[in-house]
Structure formats: C-alpha cells, structure tokens
Structure 1
Amino acid sequence: MSDFLIDEELLAAIDMGSNSFHLAIARVDHGEVKKVASMSEKVQLAAGLDENKNLTEAAQQRGLACLARFVGRLSSVQPNRLRIVATNALRQAKNGHEFIQRAAEILPKPIEIIAGREEARLIYLGVSHTMANSGRRLVIDIGGGSTELIIGEAFEPIHTESIQMGCVAFTKAYFPDGEISQSRFDRAVVAARKEIAGIVNTYKAEGWDTVVGSSGTIKACRQIAVNMGWSNEQEHLTREGLEKLKDKILKCKTTTDIEFNGLKEDRRAVLPAGVAILYAIFDVLNLESLVYSDGALREGVMYDLLGRFQHEDIRDRSVHALIGRYNADPKQAERVVATAQKLFDGVAGILHLSSDDSDLLRRAAYLHEIGLAISHSGYHRHGAYLLQHSDIAGFSQIDQNHLSHLVAHHRRKLRHDAKLDVMKVGGSKLVYLCLLLRLAVLVNHSRSDEMLPAIELTVDNEQQWQLKISGDAKQWPLLIAELHDEQVQFKHWDIGLTIQSEQFIH
C-alpha cells in the first residue's frame, strides 16, 4: 500500500460486520470498481454483546485495534472517497455511541450505522455489480448478527429483508460451549425457520431465476463442498452437498473436532450455526442450489459512493419517492429548496458549512411537508417521526436522525432545551441548518412564486444574523410580522436575528 500515490480514482469502504471487519480499496476503471487491496479480520462484535446488549470492553478494544490497522492502509485514499458502515452488532448495542465516539478519534470519517434493509440494498448492489446479468436473482447473505435476503433484477432490488439471525448470534444461543449435537442443531434450524416464515409467501410469489450466496458462511460452505466433491459440475453448492456437510458436522462432538481442508479456526467455531441457518433457508424456500459471489456489502458501499460522485445518488431518488408517497406539494418543496440554497450560500463560509451540509438542508427542504399526509396539526412532528423510523434507501441512521431534527424544528416554537438535543446529535452545524430551513419556509408562506421578496442573509458572527429584504416592507406585512416573531424564536437558540428593509430595521 505504501507504493500508492494519492489518486482521485481510488475509493475505499470499511464494513464493520457483526463477525468480521472488512476493508476494501478499489480503483475506478471505466465506471467499474476494481479492487486493488483488501483486509479482513474476525472481530466478532456480536459475540461481545453482553446480556444487557452492551458491548464489552474487550469487544470494543478488538474493534478499535482493527480499525487502527485499517487506517494505516488508507493513506492513499482521500476522506471524501471513503465510507465506513456498521451493521447489526452496532444497531443492537445500547452503548454503541460510546464505541463510535472512541472510533472517531481513529477514523478519518464518521461511522454510519445502517438499517437492516439498507444493508440488504447495498449487499445486492455489490453482488449485482460483480456478476453477469442472469434475470431475477435471490441473494442470501448470512452475517454474524443478521441475514439479508434480497430479490432483485439487474441492479435494482425488488424486495429487501434483514432478519435477526446470524452465525455469531446463533452460536451464542445454540452452541455456546462449542458442543455439537443433533438436538442443538435442530433447535437452531427451527429458530431460523421461524425467523424466515414471515417473508416466505411474498418471496415465493415474486420468484427468482437464480440463487446467489455471499459473505463468509456461504463462502466456507461452498468451498468445503467443492473440496469434498459435494458440489455440482459448475461448483455450485447444492441441497445434497449441504446435507452431506450437515451430516459431517453432526459427527463431531465439538467445534474443535471440525476439520476441513482450508477452513480457518475462527470460521470453524461458527460453522454449525451458519450451516443451520443456511439449511433452514434451503428448506423453507425449496432451494436446490446456489452460486457464490465475491460481491458483498463493501463492494455495494463503494458502488453507492461512486454513484454519488456520478450524480446518481440513491438518496435523491429516495427523497423524491417520499414526496410522491406522502403526496407532498412538489412546487412548494422546490420553492423552499431554492430559498434555502440562497440563504445557505450567503453564510456557508462564515459558518463553516460544507457541501454535505448543503445536501442535508436541500433534502430536508424537499421533505419538510411530508407529515401533512398524517395530519395538519403538528405535521412537523409527524414528518420528523416518518424520517426517523422509515427505511430510506441510501441513508444511515445518523443521516435520518439529522433529517428528522431539521423537519421537527422547521416551524412553531423553539425551546432552549431542544437546541441542546440538536447540538448533541449534530453539533452547531445542525443548529444553523435548522434555522436556515425555518427562514426558507417562512419566506415561502405565501406558496407563490410571484409574492416573494428579494432576500439576502449575512452573518457578522455565528451569533448575529442579518436578513435584508429588498423593497418596501409594506408590500409584505404578514412576512414582516412573522419575521418579527421569528426573532424571538432565534433568541431561544442564542442567535440574534436583525431584519432590514427600506422602511424597517429591527
């Protein structure tokens, strides 16, 4: 890695899985992501969740040490071309914020905790870009803490599900001391069948042409089958081969007795649980065989990141889909977006706001009225709830939390304690974005393109803002009155707001 020069074409992704952490570095070649370096370590964060769903200190130390080693390989990658995503273990960990704060001292970019369905979408993206198009496919990815099942066609997922079962979690539940027995294996299979039951009818009705498996458990199972001569002529993992693998494992008394050529020690410990999950999936979905794909979450993350640079950002597609789903007024959204961008451009330098902040404000401006689909009364709170708790493709949980706060505070009174909540979530930048969105919405209360005054926002310092309105204030009496009220709200968040026009300064 030390031979790499800084190159605008390099991308990188860190996938903080429940079982393993992965680093992938790739070069963009004619729109394709070509991997040039990778690292993988078994951290087993999921195994470090105690009975209260807190990450133990030992598990945190394993994760931090691994991330520090990864960072040592990233000197050639610019931070804006890196994404770091975390999955089920950090979704589950009650003290996950503590680990993230400690990791922030090591990493050049913040960790994004992604929701289960977003993980499934990214896995499908990684698989679909590393395989020839073969019609409709079912993708199976068994991780340490969760299992993703996706049906898609070409590069577009149709159904995405993330199910609470994984090889590390099931090892803790059904093979905690490493002892293997038929009854333990059967209990694991039954538990997996129950988890899958809720999606069986939908998935079977949708159908698929091919079945693809990705990630460690399926890679190990398929490789064992190939080595043992249990695969078919195309070296696919078959139902018969999986049955033979299961029988071979059940002849062992403990996981330490499992011996297959090339099987690593850390994979051996979680293999019975992983096989039980895969066995249940084959059984419930009536699968006969699957092909293995090297594409997985980290590849999907890099293709998603590449799309952002190529103006094919899934987040913008998701925003416009939400506008349509909740029947928000697109013309009003565009008005507020345009005003918010103008206000942002006037103060971004002094307030140290970035292009990412601009994107966040723009998306919140598009979505500020989606809560009207529930009720006009308190619609800002309804919209905030929808953004906080929906599965929105392309957005991390932190992204959605930021959007939720922006929409929640775009109207009505601002409490001082609410500012503290916003600061805790997104710092002073998120506070400024909330205030910019409030002004953009307020200026567009007339819901008309013809009734807008020319406005200019300037900032003397971070605590003193000036909004200049060109023209006679008497033309906009309602706007001036509302801005006067808004000055009071700004003071609650420790910001002074001065309103200037030809006949009005306050």
Structure 2
Amino acid sequence: MTEPDTATPPELLAAIDMGSNSFHMVVARLVHGEIRTLEKMGEKVQLGAGLDDRNRLTEEAQQRALACLSRFAQRLSGMPASAVQIVGTNALRVARNANEFIHRAEEVLGFPVEIIAGREEARLIYLGVSHTLSDDAGRRLVIDIGGGSTEFIIGERFEARELESLHMGCVSFRNRYFQDGRITRRQLDRAITHAAQELLHIRHQYRKLGWSSAVGSSGSIKAIANALAALKITNGTLTYKAMKELRKRLVDMGHVDRLSEMGVRTERHSIFPAGFAILMAAFESLGIEEMSYADGALREGLLYDIVGRIQHEDVRERTIQALQERYHVDQDHGRAVEETAIAAWQQVARNWGIDSPNDEDVLRWACRLHEIGLTISHSQYHKHGAYLLRYSDLPGFSQQFQKDLATLVRGHRRKFANAVFDDADPEDYGRLRYLCVLIRLAVLIQHSRNQEPPPELRLEAEADRLTLRFPKGWLDERPLTLADLENERDYLTKQNLELVIR
C-alpha cells in the first residue's frame, strides 16, 4: 500500500455515517495523533423507512438523503480524500438500487461512499466506543441499536473479540410492531420475543465469554437513559430493574404521542418503543444487570480508523496477513508477484487511468492473495479464492473493495472472459480489466516461483494495446515464460486488448 506522508498528516478529519434512521457527520482536528472533535451534525433522514415492498429506495427517500448530504458537503469542501470516510449501513446493504443512490451521493459529496458489512460496522462502533471510555481492564459488552440492525461486540481495550450484527433495528421494528403509534402490552411482548429469537444464536457464546461492563452507544439507548433520568427511576444508568419499571410505564402511557412526558424528543417518538423492545430483549437474553451510555459510535470509529491508516496501523494490512496465514498462502511467492505487478503498474497507471491509491492497494493485496483458493482445491482455485474474498467478513474492508479484490483474484488466470466481471459494477469494468491484466502478467512472469526480482521491463500502454519490452536475451533463457506470454496474448484478444511482446 502507498505509504502515507506522516510528515504532513491532514489537519482535519471527517466521517459520515449514513444510517438507516439518521445521518451523522463529525469533523475533528488531529493534534499529536489525538482526535479533538470540532463539530457534530446529525439529521433524521429515515432512509430505512424509504424502502418499498421490493426493497428499493424510493425517490422521495433518496431526495431527503441527498438534501442532507448537500449540507454536509459544504463542511467537507477542500479536505483531502485520505482524511474523509463516508459509509452506508443496513438500509444500503439491503436496498436493491443502492448503487444508483451511491453514485448520486458521491456527486453531491465529492468523495467516495462505501457500503460496509454488518460485522465491519460492529468493529468500527467498538473502535469508537473504546476510545471514548477510560482504558479499563477487563472485557466490555457494547450494544448499538440502529435503524435496521443492532450490533453486539465483546472486546477488551481497543480490540474486539466477538462481533455480530443482527438484522433488527428500531425502524424495522417500529414498522412491524408500532406502526399505529399505540404501545400495548401485547405489541411490546411480541417485539421483545422477536428480538429474543434473533439473539438466540449468539446468546450462548456471548454469555460464555462474559464481560465485566456493558455499554450502549446508540441514540435509542441514549433516549432510554434520558427517559429513566427524567422519570427519576435512575440517574441515567440502565439497570434491569429500571428497564422493567420503564416497560410498565410505557404500557400505561399507551401511545407514542405522550412520550414527551418522559423527556423523549418528538423526532424519536415513533421509534422509541421499538428501540426499548430490542434493548429489553438484550438485557433478558444476555443476562445484563447494568449498562452505561457512551457517546462514541460508528462515526468516531471511522475517525480512529483514518488515524490508524495515517500512523501505519491499517487494520486492512492485518486482515490480509491473517488471511495469508489462515489459508497457508505462499507469502514469498505472493510478494514476488506483487513486486512485479507494481513495477508494471507504475509505468502504465497514468495512461490507463488506474493511478489512484485505491487502485494500487487492490492490486497489491490481490497479488498477495491470488492463491488463497488453493486451500480448497487446485482445480478452479481462482474461483474458490474469489468466493472467499467476496463473502468473508474482512475487517477494514468495504463491500465494494471486497468485490474488487474478488474480481482480480477471479481473473488472474485462465480464460479472460466477460464472466470475470459479472460481480463488478459496470462503471468499474474498465479499471478492473486493466488491473486484471497486470496481475495476470505478474503471475506469468513469476511462474517459475523462484522469487527472482522482476526483469527490467519497459511497458507502453495505450487504450487497447500493451507493449512489453524485455531485456535482451531474458526471454531466450526462459522459453516456458515466452510460451505463457504467447498464450496470454490470445486470452487478451478476448478483451479486445493487443499484447505485443518484444
């Protein structure tokens, strides 16, 4: 990966969390490696409520979201791309037209937007929470109730040990159980039972691992804590006893219109009983006796993730290393392929329009992992490797980046047909095609697996033509490599790319 310039790190950092219920932005200053928050903004966009019966975002919901992002965009103006992270969560994970919306959002913001998987969301939430709490010894349980999903994490200090994202949130539960605004005992019981059923498959493992403290980090949990304080049930601490008392009061109240009596803000009225039901189920299923509230959340985790990359503590590098070890990848060979591919990339990147740090990263990591599928079978191992990278939980990686990695691994050998790009977004076809060419050539040049330094290649790139000039006599001494390259020339013609070997 391109080394960041630590001599002049960005002064300002920004993160945007496009949640299913609310969009949040935080802007901070980096001072001696520490984050100091300058500004927080949040708007209740209710993106998840804008999903129709075909799981497509309605135009009305998209317009609400884009209007919010246009206000955020003004604050981001002039910031470098390396200092900004923008992610979408559950609503965009399930929306069938998410790509359409992402393109519109990127036009408004001027920065890339990534959709992250549930467990990656959980990792970032824990990162944000752990940096806003005292550095206590012992394990902690962190719960974050979002609009469409709820994250459960057990970790110690800054490292998460168990990560889970369950498909239940305050918007989806509101729509299912509290659509009419009434709060009855039957509705509340049904919602709590549903949440408890979702918790069944993590309950045993989480209770077995245990924790010494429990922390809530979402707006729903903050609202519950505030209600407990407003009612003078507790000072804001969430206890199992207090939750049972609040449950009675909610049923007695009977309708969300009266929640202001508990100090609940008007814009949170409709989702409050749903968030309460999910948290009540967590208390009962996991045996939680007491919970505190922490202000850190996903957006703060994104900021600390940016700082980690600046300070050469990129979690993605650790993820790649862990994959190499778990699947017994030949790391020396992967390094040789990477060195060869990057030497070629440096010569053609500008002409081919693949000169971004993101392009270099995906090429480097695909080279290191191109043989990951061998752990399953030698036959079709490029397809096995692509599947592993596409569908594994990879800390630090967005879903889009995983798709790009999978495409390069899928296309690094054998037929170079259009099927290689079936899982890629159409607008990424061109850049992924060129990156695939580079990894394919690097693998062929290092076919002998003796980890020799790449030859002093000269490459000349045009849109539909690539010329390779080898040192005099180099190919004469390696007839098998020459035969491989001649076969590759035939493969590349299927992609309307002429390979000239000299």
For Structure 1 versus Structure 2, the TM-score category normalised by the shorter chain is: over 0.9
1:266 is aligned to 267
Structure 2: gaps of 5 or more residues: 1-7
Task: Check whether the contact 1:457–1:465 (CA below 8 A) recurs between aligned residues.
Answer: no
The reply on whether 1:129 has 2:131 as its aligned counterpart is yes
Task: Check whether the contact 1:422–1:431 (CA below 8 A) recurs between aligned residues.
Answer: no
Looking at structure 1, the residues matched to 23 and 389 of structure 2 have their Cα atoms a distance apart, in angstroms, of 29
1:298 is aligned to 299
1:219 is aligned to 222
Give the aligned residue type for 2:340: T
1:186 is aligned to 189
Alignment of 1:65-214 (within 5 A): 65-134=67-136, 135-214=138-217
Secondary structure of the residue aligned to 1:475 is coil
Q: CA RMSD in A?
A: 1.7
1:462 is aligned to 463
Secondary structure of the residue aligned to 1:106 is helix
Secondary structure of the residue aligned to 2:467 is strand
1:54: Cα distance to partner? 1.4
1:387 is aligned to 389
1:421: Cα distance to partner? 6.4
Give the aligned residue type for 1:73: R
Give the aligned residue type for 1:190: T
Aligned residues: 492
Looking at structure 2, the residues matched to 388 and 101 of structure 1 have their Cα atoms a distance apart, in angstroms, of 21
Task: Check whether the contact 2:216–2:294 (CA below 8 A) recurs between aligned residues.
Answer: yes
Secondary structure of the residue aligned to 1:304 is helix
1:253: Cα distance to partner? 2.6
Q: Could you say if the C-alpha distance between residues 257 and 319 of structure 1 is closer, same or farther in structure 2, counting changes exceeding 3 Å?
A: same
Task: Check whether the contact 2:57–2:98 (CA below 8 A) recurs between aligned residues.
Answer: yes
Q: Could you say if the C-alpha distance between residues 190 and 118 of structure 1 is closer, same or farther in structure 2, counting changes exceeding 3 Å?
A: same
Looking at structure 1, the residues matched to 392 and 298 of structure 2 have their Cα atoms a distance apart, in angstroms, of 21
Give the aligned residue type for 1:214: S
User: Which 10-residue stretch deviates more, 131-140 or 190-199?
Assistant: 131-140
Give the aligned residue type for 1:370: I
Task: Check whether the contact 1:81–1:305 (CA below 8 A) recurs between aligned residues.
Answer: yes
1:438 is aligned to 440
Looking at structure 2, the residues matched to 349 and 487 of structure 1 have their Cα atoms a distance apart, in angstroms, of 22
1:325 is aligned to 326
Q: Could you say if the C-alpha distance between residues 76 and 290 of structure 1 is closer, same or farther in structure 2, counting changes exceeding 3 Å?
A: farther
Identical positions, percent: 48
1:61 is aligned to 63
Looking at structure 1, the residues matched to 367 and 439 of structure 2 have their Cα atoms a distance apart, in angstroms, of 7
Task: Check whether the contact 2:333–2:451 (CA below 8 A) recurs between aligned residues.
Answer: no
Task: Check whether the contact 2:403–2:424 (CA below 8 A) recurs between aligned residues.
Answer: no
Q: After the TM superposition, which parts of structure 1 deviate over 3 Å for at least 4 consecutive aligned residues?
A: 416-423
Secondary structure of the residue aligned to 1:149 is strand
1:416: Cα distance to partner? 4.4
Q: Could you say if the C-alpha distance between residues 486 and 132 of structure 1 is closer, same or farther in structure 2, counting changes exceeding 3 Å?
A: same
1:449: Cα distance to partner? 2.6
Looking at structure 2, the residues matched to 76 and 197 of structure 1 have their Cα atoms a distance apart, in angstroms, of 47
Secondary structure of the residue aligned to 2:414 is coil
Looking at structure 2, the residues matched to 102 and 367 of structure 1 have their Cα atoms a distance apart, in angstroms, of 33
Looking at structure 2, the residues matched to 230 and 441 of structure 1 have their Cα atoms a distance apart, in angstroms, of 66
Q: Could you say if the C-alpha distance between residues 408 and 21 of structure 1 is closer, same or farther in structure 2, counting changes exceeding 3 Å?
A: same
Give the aligned residue type for 1:285: L
Looking at structure 1, the residues matched to 53 and 131 of structure 2 have their Cα atoms a distance apart, in angstroms, of 39
Secondary structure of the residue aligned to 1:33 is strand
1:471 is aligned to 472
1:228 is aligned to 231
Secondary structure of the residue aligned to 1:377 is coil
After superposition, the C-alpha distances for 1:214-269 in whole angstroms (9 at most, x for unaligned) are: 0100011111212222225xx42111222222222111232112223542112111
1:365: Cα distance to partner? 0.4
Task: Check whether the contact 1:71–1:107 (CA below 8 A) recurs between aligned residues.
Answer: yes
User: Which 10-residue stretch deviates more, 141-150 or 352-361?
Assistant: 352-361
Alignment of 1:36-55 (within 5 A): 36-55=38-57
Looking at structure 1, the residues matched to 288 and 387 of structure 2 have their Cα atoms a distance apart, in angstroms, of 39
Task: Check whether the contact 1:230–1:240 (CA below 8 A) recurs between aligned residues.
Answer: no
Looking at structure 2, the residues matched to 483 and 192 of structure 1 have their Cα atoms a distance apart, in angstroms, of 57
After superposition, the C-alpha distances for 1:68-126 in whole angstroms (9 at most, x for unaligned) are: 11112222522331111000011011121221122222121121100000000000000
Looking at structure 2, the residues matched to 194 and 327 of structure 1 have their Cα atoms a distance apart, in angstroms, of 37
User: Which 10-residue stretch deviates more, 413-422 or 328-337?
Assistant: 413-422
Q: Could you say if the C-alpha distance between residues 490 and 421 of structure 1 is closer, same or farther in structure 2, counting changes exceeding 3 Å?
A: farther
Q: Could you say if the C-alpha distance between residues 156 and 423 of structure 1 is closer, same or farther in structure 2, counting changes exceeding 3 Å?
A: closer
1:32: Cα distance to partner? 1.7
Looking at structure 1, the residues matched to 383 and 90 of structure 2 have their Cα atoms a distance apart, in angstroms, of 28
1:179: Cα distance to partner? 1.6
Q: Could you say if the C-alpha distance between residues 480 and 423 of structure 1 is closer, same or farther in structure 2, counting changes exceeding 3 Å?
A: farther
1:483 is aligned to 485
Task: Check whether the contact 2:192–2:278 (CA below 8 A) recurs between aligned residues.
Answer: yes
Give the aligned residue type for 2:240: R
Looking at structure 2, the residues matched to 296 and 27 of structure 1 have their Cα atoms a distance apart, in angstroms, of 17
1:460: Cα distance to partner? 4.2
1:365 is aligned to 367
Task: Check whether the contact 1:185–1:272 (CA below 8 A) recurs between aligned residues.
Answer: yes
Looking at structure 2, the residues matched to 167 and 410 of structure 1 have their Cα atoms a distance apart, in angstroms, of 44
2:497 is aligned to 495
Looking at structure 2, the residues matched to 216 and 197 of structure 1 have their Cα atoms a distance apart, in angstroms, of 24
Task: Check whether the contact 2:407–2:420 (CA below 8 A) recurs between aligned residues.
Answer: no
Looking at structure 2, the residues matched to 128 and 207 of structure 1 have their Cα atoms a distance apart, in angstroms, of 17
Q: Could you say if the C-alpha distance between residues 420 and 380 of structure 1 is closer, same or farther in structure 2, counting changes exceeding 3 Å?
A: closer
Give the aligned residue type for 1:98: E
After superposition, the C-alpha distances for 1:276-297 in whole angstroms (9 at most, x for unaligned) are: 1100100111111111111000
The reply on whether 1:252 has 2:253 as its aligned counterpart is yes
Task: Check whether the contact 1:224–1:261 (CA below 8 A) recurs between aligned residues.
Answer: yes
Task: Check whether the contact 2:153–2:160 (CA below 8 A) recurs between aligned residues.
Answer: yes
User: Which 10-residue stretch deviates more, 364-373 or 415-424?
Assistant: 415-424
Give the aligned residue type for 1:482: D
Task: Check whether the contact 2:407–2:421 (CA below 8 A) recurs between aligned residues.
Answer: no
Q: Could you say if the C-alpha distance between residues 305 and 420 of structure 1 is closer, same or farther in structure 2, counting changes exceeding 3 Å?
A: same
Q: TM-score, normalised by structure 2?
A: 0.95
2:36 is aligned to 34
Q: Could you say if the C-alpha distance between residues 418 and 191 of structure 1 is closer, same or farther in structure 2, counting changes exceeding 3 Å?
A: same
After superposition, the C-alpha distances for 1:418-476 in whole angstroms (9 at most, x for unaligned) are: 468657162422211111000111111101034x6614142242222111221313210
Looking at structure 2, the residues matched to 428 and 253 of structure 1 have their Cα atoms a distance apart, in angstroms, of 57
Structure 1: gaps of 5 or more residues: 1-5, 501-506
User: Which 10-residue stretch deviates more, 434-443 or 463-472?
Assistant: 463-472
Secondary structure of the residue aligned to 1:251 is helix
Task: Check whether the contact 2:332–2:451 (CA below 8 A) recurs between aligned residues.
Answer: no
Looking at structure 2, the residues matched to 172 and 387 of structure 1 have their Cα atoms a distance apart, in angstroms, of 34
Task: Check whether the contact 1:459–1:465 (CA below 8 A) recurs between aligned residues.
Answer: yes
Of 16, 23, 26, 1:24 maps to: 26
Alignment of 1:414-433 (within 5 A): 414-416=416-418, 418=420, 422=424, 424=426, 426-433=428-435
1:503 is aligned to none
The reply on whether 1:355 has 2:357 as its aligned counterpart is yes
Looking at structure 2, the residues matched to 164 and 90 of structure 1 have their Cα atoms a distance apart, in angstroms, of 13
